[in-house]
Amino acid sequence: MLRLPLAIAVAASGFLFLAKISLTTKTPHPEQVTLKGPDRHRCAALKVPPGPPLDFHNRVVSDRFVQGTSPVLIRNATIWSGANNGTEIIHGDILLDQGLVKALGHIPPNLISNTPGVRVINVERAWVTPGLVDLHSHVGLLSAPLLSGAFDVNSRHGPILPWLRSIDAINTHDDAYRLAIAGGVTSGQVLPGSGNAIGGQAFFIKYRKTAERTPTSMVIEPPETLGGIHVNASHPPRWRHMKQACGENLRKYGTRMDSAWAFRSAYNEARKIKEAQDDYCAKVEAGRWSELKGKTFPESFEWEMLVDVLRGRVKISNHCYEAVDLDNIVRLSNEFRFHVSSFHHASEAWLVPDVLKRMWGGPPAVAIFATNHRYKRESYRGSEFAPAVLADNQIPVVMKSDHPVINSRYLLHEAQQAHYFGLAENLALASVTSTPAHAGGLAHRIGVLRVGADADVVLWDSHPLALGATPKQVFIDGVMQIEEPVVGEKGEWFQDAPGVPDWEEEKREAVRWEGLPPLEPKKRVKNVVFLNVKEVWTRRGGSFDEQTFDTKDMGTVVVERGKIVCSSSGSTCLSSTSGAYTVVDLKGGSIFPGLEEIAGEPSTGDGVPYDPLLGDVPSILDDSAQALRAVDALQFGTRNALLAYRSGITLGVTSIGSSTLFGGPSSTFGGLSVSFNPGAENAMEDGAIVKRITALHLSVSPAYPLHTWPSGEIPLIIDVSSADIMATLLLLKGEVEAKFGTRMRMSFAHATEAHILAKEIAAADVAVLLKPPRPYPQVWSERRIIPGPPLSQDSHIMTLLKHNITVGIGVSEAWASRNTRFDLGWAALEANGQMSRSQALALATTNIEGAFGLETELDSDLVAYAGGSLFGFESKPVAVISPARHLVDVL
């Protein structure tokens, strides 16, 4: 991408030329040898482009090979190799030995018999991919569990810090390595944070434990500048890596204009040094020794990294969101002639492909989230269609975690969602393997499966793009990573890439509206006929009625004034219709109850709430409970609310209490929540507000202990993750109930460690609202997680359900609610056949109502999905049927 073939030829011949010169120069004066020999070497070496060692492809043993590792033969695999633009699929075997892929496809029997001690794993056609590569991670810098002593991500010492190195802060005890490996992630780039324009040098590491137990031993191809490592100086230099950032995160150092100047003045320093070096070397090469008398090779310890950037030896990862910022960096790259390898977050990159193509040295890769958008102003125009649009413009697409922003264990889910929203299958798989490896200059050994590549391999239980795909085993450098994996069998149906809906029209509209297409329903009507319906699920009190139609005939459902009046197989229902109906073809789709969701904040940020439990409520607001009603802060028609509605969420419960990004709740008092319909236009519309005062929300953690026990009739939702605090709360609940002789309706939200007290929680009749649905040990008080397959037999949800606890799932940030239905499908898949579909559906419907006491309030909305059921990637929500509002919204 960076080097033209011509440049490679020139530089390579320069290198060979050097070897010749050292043989043929006349024997010089001894004094000249010490001065000129090293200088000639040094000057010639400046021209050698970075890359793998010259003899890399002949290697027979990996530099990372662990002595004593047995060879492994994986038999009968469906291998995604990464070759041919990600389209090559090989049916056959893989032999891993000496830390390398030794053979692939049809393996000659004599090679196998010549590999003593080989362990054979027959995978019966299971999918096998390279280990996943996370281009953007803060693993080891923001460690799990997070403690203030392990928060090594941003320096406060200025905007320009190219001399800092993430490796100097990588915590080797982060719980996230093991969890990421359990998700198939085998390596990642550890980037400094984005609080500085140049945050420092980054390093690619492998996530497995090493015998040496050091960060150094985890680094892949450490550059010679790192020191203390053996590097063969006669080989091309290894790629170096660096983090840059622009935009909002640099506010503390001034405006965007200040950051741009900070960049330009830093690169100008580096340019001066580079020019001085080139000038010096021109004289060395010309043998003009007299002009060099008394001079030494010009260099700077501070600026050497940026000089290497200007020499094309650094892969830069640049955090940059908006068009203005992307344009700035592209101008910078042309002004100083260096390449940026990848833009990260890049919420508007998809809207400005021509800017990307103007990058000096060719377009960068773009590393993004699938659906994590609108979390700040800069990310407002981020889109689920960005991966597909970028690919349409031939821009390499990378999906990344920004771990722990997204738990890197679920990196593959980002690629799955990108695929769901239109990124081609081959590119979706490449987006978490070969494309990031290429962006990091490491595709010669990771992110691909070919003879001679590193033996980083994942065996999957299903097609990797299928929802809930889980590794059955993971190898890093040929070393087996999961001691006793527990993964169920998924069967044939899951072995193909999921069929996904057509989003072409939505994608075009998204571009046409510069990322902000209208999200309001297209049509609001009274009467609809749904054709080609496969199944209909309706609510009856706390349970579901399920009607499934023959695949051949399908069914017809007639809706009048927001109510189903007829549903039958074939077209029987049509005979009873009279008048005007809108016709919606569900193409084998379904109708399901609308989902309900709890979120931690009303769709707006309204500052830090006052906390009556800490006594800081201003006297003018002294009616404390009244002052903190979410209903008063609620905004309708926000993009997050409308996207949730378009994704099947018809009831939201939201409270004011906000969370800090990595540290849990920011106060004890979360105020009074409101339940509402996210599809309503405003608070005065019929059915817009379901219950004005739904529950009282509190957060209790070691940082925010509970001082006073609130009393009242209203359901109490306590945000708590530690099992020890849950125990205290359960005891308190018992005391209050004994004293007043009443039953308290109490739920634990967040509840990461609930499994430890499952029996007691069940006995106390406390509901559990899991946020997030799959646990992560973010902070110390929630470090004891039950990780789920392949690390534990049961998932957290299933463990709680087995104790007959009422379990709901929720989200911490509003953008995530659109993924609720996939979370349900995933929960059912993780339960390995132990969870029925109605149990899964209850997690985001009846169980949430139970916790919030909403059972009697509702005439629940229904959602129609085209192409499949609510639970999977095959379908797309197309209409909401609302009995309470007497209408159908056609989306």
Ligand X SMILES: *[C@@H]1O[C@H](CO)[C@@H](O)[C@H](O)[C@H]1NC(C)=O
**Rounded Cα–Cα distance for residues 384 and 419 (Å):** 10
Provide the H-helix boundaries in 252-371: 256-286, 304-310, 323-336, 353-357
Tell me whether residue 85 or residue 635 sits nearer to ligand X (CB atom): 85
Q: Which residue is nearest to ligand X (CB)?
A: 124
Q: Which is nearer to ligand X, 331 or 802 (CB)?
A: 802
Closest distance between ligand X and the C-beta of residue 730, in Å? 17
- Quick one: 262 or 807, whose CB is closer to ligand X? 807
Rounded to whole angstroms, the Cα distance separating 475 from 33 reads 49
| 641 Cβ neighbours under 8 A, 6+ residues apart | 603, 635, 652, 678, 679, 814
**Most distant CA atoms of the chain, gap in Å:** 108
| Of residues 200 and 396, the one with the C-beta less far from ligand X | 396
Parallel/antiparallel/unpaired status of strands 746-750 and 716-720: parallel
CB of 333 to ligand X, least distance (A): 24
Identify which of residues 362 and 705 has a Cβ nearer to ligand X in the complex.
362
CB of 54 to ligand X, least distance (A): 5
Token pair recorded at residue 381: 């125009």
Q: Is the dihedral of CA 440, 444, 449, 452 positive or negative?
A: negative
Distance CA 864, CA 525 (A): 14
Toward ligand X, which CB reaches closer, 232 or 708?
A: 232
Secondary structure element (H or E) that encloses residue 16, with its range: helix 5-24
3-state SS, residue 569: strand
Cis peptide before 772 (omega within 30 of 0): yes
CB of 761 to ligand X, least distance (A): 11
> Cis bond leading into 53, ω under 30°?
no
Residues 6+ apart with CB under 8 A from 406: 369, 372, 414
* Dist CA 72 CA 561 (whole Å): 63
Beta strand 887-890 with 89-97 is unpaired
Q: Toward ligand X, which CB reaches closer, 660 or 804?
A: 804
CB nearer to ligand X: give 111 or 519: 111
- Residue 418's H or E segment, with its range, is helix 411-420
The total of other beta-carbon atoms located within 10 Å of residue 298's CB is 16
List the beta bridge partners of residue 546.
537
The whole-angstrom separation of Cα 174 and Cα 140 is: 6
Q: Report the nearest approach of ligand X to the CB of residue 58 (Å).
A: 9
Q: How many residues does the chain have?
A: 891
The distance of closest approach from Cβ of residue 729 to ligand X in the complex, given in angstroms and rounded to an integer, is 21
User: Could you tell me the CA-to-CA distances from 580 to 414, 463, 523, 559 in Å, in that order?
Assistant: 42, 44, 14, 11
Nearer to ligand X, 20 or 156 (CB): 20
Both tokens of residue 621?
A: 């607001």
| CB closer to ligand X out of 76 and 569 | 76
- For ligand X, the closer of residues 109 and 149 by Cβ is 109
Closest distance of CB 237 from ligand X, Å: 13
Least gap, CB of 394 to ligand X (angstroms): 7
State the Cα–Cα distance between residues 455 and 445, nearest whole angstrom: 9
Taking the C-alpha atoms of 456, 462, 463 and 467 in order, what is their torsion angle to the nearest 10 degrees? Answer: -110
Amino acid at 412: L
Q: How far is the CB of 322 from ligand X (least distance, A)?
A: 27
Residues found near ligand X in the complex (CB under 6 A) = 54-55, 76, 85, 124-125, 232, 234-235, 424, 426-427, 803-804
Alpha helices in 461-535 (DSSP H): 504-512
> Nearest approach, Cβ of 69 to ligand X (angstroms)?
22
Taking the complex as a whole, how short is the minimal distance between the CB of residue 75 and ligand X, in angstroms? 7
Q: Which is nearer to ligand X, 426 or 869 (CB)?
A: 426
How near is the Cβ of 738 to ligand X at its closest, in Å?
23
